[in-house]
Chain A
Amino acid sequence: MPTMTMVQAVVQALDEEMSRDNRVVVMGEDVGKRGGVFLATEGLQQKYGPDRVIDTPLSEAAIIGAALGMASHGMRPVAEVQFADYVFPGFDQLVSQVAKLRYRSGGQFTAPMVIRMPSGGGVRGGHHHSQSPEAHFAHTAGLKVVVVSTPYDTRGLLKSAVRDDNPVVFMEPKRLYRAIKEEVPSQEYLIPIGEAAIRKEGKDISLISYGGSMVETQKAAEELEGVGVSAEVIDLRSLMPWDKETVLASVAKTGRVLVVSEAPRMASIASEVAATIAEEVLDSLEAPPLRVTGFDTPYPYAQDKVYMPTVTRILNAAKRVLDY
């Protein structure tokens, strides 16, 4: 089996979908000649031409809005926003137009499109190259939200996103783009949106995370194993819809749970998951569900490594839950 990085998995998935379906087009800033600033669309314009890999003006509103017009007219656009931090000029397009088109038209018009964006911290980017704005999108009815953490998942989920009949916000933690190489089958496969992955089975505590924070969460699980604590690790992968069944089954088994994410805590995905656990399986809990999250400050530049949940912070929270 070939090995590949997450960024190579993005290229591979787009290439496969473009070759399968000529309605699929890629569009965004620098995606063509340059191959994307992270090289996530490298080689596609040479292969498919400038009509199917469109270098757009520097305008997120134009990229997302035009992608919607193309989608409603029968194409399957994959729009790239260069950094998740720059989605906000296109936020009105996502919230007012893209998310609500199917609903407001009573199902007459639809928006089968993907909005890809590199997200998250850890690359010394300061607050305009490091944010994790997934809660905005999950909070907006009508958008599916996916955050990947492995090359294998990236390929399978991105292909599912392209084939989905709904708009999918697809977030790629940029610090993982080249951090992990893994074996990926040579034949194609799909991973359904809405299903979590159990990365490690365990019986004493559930560690639920997604995206970039999966790295620290898995390290914490290894350390816990070293001191005799069996941790179950769940990667949500899809945030809207998220896999409640898998999460609740795990918590019912372990009775102890942490939800880990580098996004700010206030009104976050971690909060939603923790609240659902408290509402639905309180009787199974041996301790309150704790959140280990980014802080409610703008993403700092100098304190880049401290802002995101560290292994130590995860372990401290685990201790609180285990000792409760």
Chain B
Amino acid sequence: MTKQSAQFEPFTPKTISLLTEQGDWAGPFKLDLDQATLKRFYRDMLAARLLDEKFTILLRTGKIAFVAPHSGHEAAQIGLAHALQRGHDWFFPYYRDAGAILALGVPLKEMFGHALATLADPAKGRQMPGHFGSKSLNAFTPASAIASHVPPAAGAAISMKLQNTRQVSVCTFGDGATSEGDWYAGVNIAAVQGAPAIFVCENNKYAISLHYSHQTAAASVAEKAHAFGIPGYRVDGLDVLASYYVMKDVIERSRQGHGSALVELEVYRFGPHSSADDDTRYRPKEEVEAWRQKDPILRFQRFLERQSIWTKDWEESLRAEIKAEQEAALQEAISAGEPPVEWMFDDVFSEMPWHLEEQRRLVTDELS
């Protein structure tokens, strides 16, 4: 029986998928996204992929020190970013979320500014690349420590509930994070408080080198939701429509007061863990190649082609447009200049205590 709207049951025996690998709609309800939205999803996915490539070029030419590639995660990240109410809901990303951050609307100039640590970075160049945050878009600046943002995401959700703001708090992480104590602590307090927190695992099957099968004996991350008394959804994260619709449904239920949820978006990381990693040491090239055949962008492209939305010409003009935007933003970020050295001492506290004033003087004297 065809459902009238996009509502999903938790703990389904099979992973929730709406698009076949050939790009056919297989959803049990009528697709209700207009053409402009579908095109936007595709553009954001493509822009995310090209951003990954751009970062890699900057790395190889020595302009930036670090990249955590997100290729393979685009459908999951763009789907979830569009399911949020932008600038209203809160997003607690981790370090592999550049695609989601981009789709959320963080300006490219800020993203390059962050990667290059220039004055175009709203965070003043304080962290290594990959830690994008934005107060104006409620994207909580990440810390590198795995799963450490899960309790804060729960806390923000508790605050939303207490103040009745009708916001939700969406927190993403990789599969490795689900082994951390902070992960259990955070999910548990949100769940028991009935707070509008949605915990989203971008399960790419590897925590650096460790395969999922050595991370946990649980068959899925989603089923861990049982232990917290909240619903768990296992979703094909290579399918942007499944990622979007499930996230949308789960978010709106949380917003209406139904508490927390856990969503597992099954993806695959096409690149290494980071620019400092050699993934050939722990996974065969054939495995990576087989997953690349399931590229989330190609699957959505096939779908759009069948809808007569995607054409080769559109693809070419879109790529040219995105590349030009990225190059222009990159140049703007570079020309913004470097943060002054003495800024190192700002923002430790709201005001500067005497010992930091002394230490700042030491540096300015040294440089003068």
A→B interface (CB under 8 Å): 25, 51, 54, 56-57, 59, 61-62, 64-75, 77, 89, 92-93, 96-97, 100-110, 141-142, 144, 164-166, 194, 240-241, 244-245
Contacts and interface: CB of A to CB of B under 8 A. Distances in A.
B258 interface: no
B151 interface: yes
B151 A66 contact: yes
29 contacts: A25-B162, A61-B151, A61-B181, A61-B182, A62-B188, A65-B182, A66-B151, A66-B155, A71-B155, A74-B163, A75-B162, A89-B185, A92-B148, A92-B182, A93-B148, A93-B182, A97-B143, A100-B143, A102-B347, A103-B126, A103-B347, A104-B141, A104-B143, A105-B141, A106-B124, A107-B124, A108-B122, A110-B350, A245-B354
Nearest to A75: B159
A75 to B, nearest CB: 5
Contacts of A59: 185, 188-189
Most buried by B among A69, A77, A104, A245: A69
B347 A241 contact: no
Contacts of B163: 74-75
B151 A64 contact: yes
A141 B348 contact: yes
Contacts of B144: 96
Contacts of A71: 155
A97 B152 contact: yes
Contacts of A73: 90, 155-156, 159-160
A106 B346 CA distance: 8
A104 B131 contact: yes
Contact of A66 (B152, B181, B347): B152
B146 to A, nearest CB: 10
Nearest to B353: A241
B157 interface: yes
Contacts of B169: 69
Nearest to A89: B181
B155 A65 contact: yes
Contacts of A68: 151-152, 155
Contact of B123 (A74, A105, A110, A164): A105
A104 B127 contact: yes
Given A89-B181, A97-B143, A69 B159 contact: yes
A101 B349 CA distance: 10
A93 B180 CA distance: 12
B320 interface: no
B91 interface: no
Contacts of A74: 159, 163
Contacts of A101: 141
Given A141-B348, A142-B348, A241-B354, A97 B126 contact: no
Contacts of A25: 162
B158 interface: yes
A102 B154 CA distance: 19
B151 A93 contact: yes
A166 B349 contact: yes
B192 interface: yes
B158 A70 contact: yes
A96 B185 contact: no
A97 B156 CA distance: 14
Contacts of A244: 354-355
Given A56-B189, A104-B126, A109 B349 contact: no
Nearest to A193: B353
B150 interface: yes
Interface string B132-156: 0111000011011100111111111
Given A73-B156, A101-B141, 12 more contacts: A54-B193, A65-B152, A65-B182, A66-B154, A66-B155, A69-B154, A69-B155, A69-B158, A73-B155, A73-B159, A93-B148, A105-B122
A105 B144 CA distance: 13
A72 B140 contact: yes
A99 B123 CA distance: 15
A96 B149 CA distance: 9
A109 B134 CA distance: 9
Contacts of A240: 353
B52 interface: no
A77 B354 CA distance: 27
Contacts of B355: 241, 244
A144 B356 CA distance: 13
Contact of A166 (B122, B140, B143, B350): B350
Contacts of A109: 133, 135, 140-141
A75 B149 CA distance: 18
Nearest to B187: A62
Contacts of B237: none
In the complex, which of the residues B90, B126, B153, B192 has the most CB atoms of chain A within 10 Å of its own CB atom?
Answer: B126
B348 A102 contact: yes
Contacts of B125: 106
B121 interface: yes
Contacts of B354: 241, 244-245
B126 A70 contact: no
B93 interface: no
Interface centre among B134, B148, B151, B155 (most CB of A within 10 A): B155
B360 to A, nearest CB: 13
B117 to A, nearest CB: 11
Nearest to A242: B355
Contacts of A144: 349
B72 interface: no
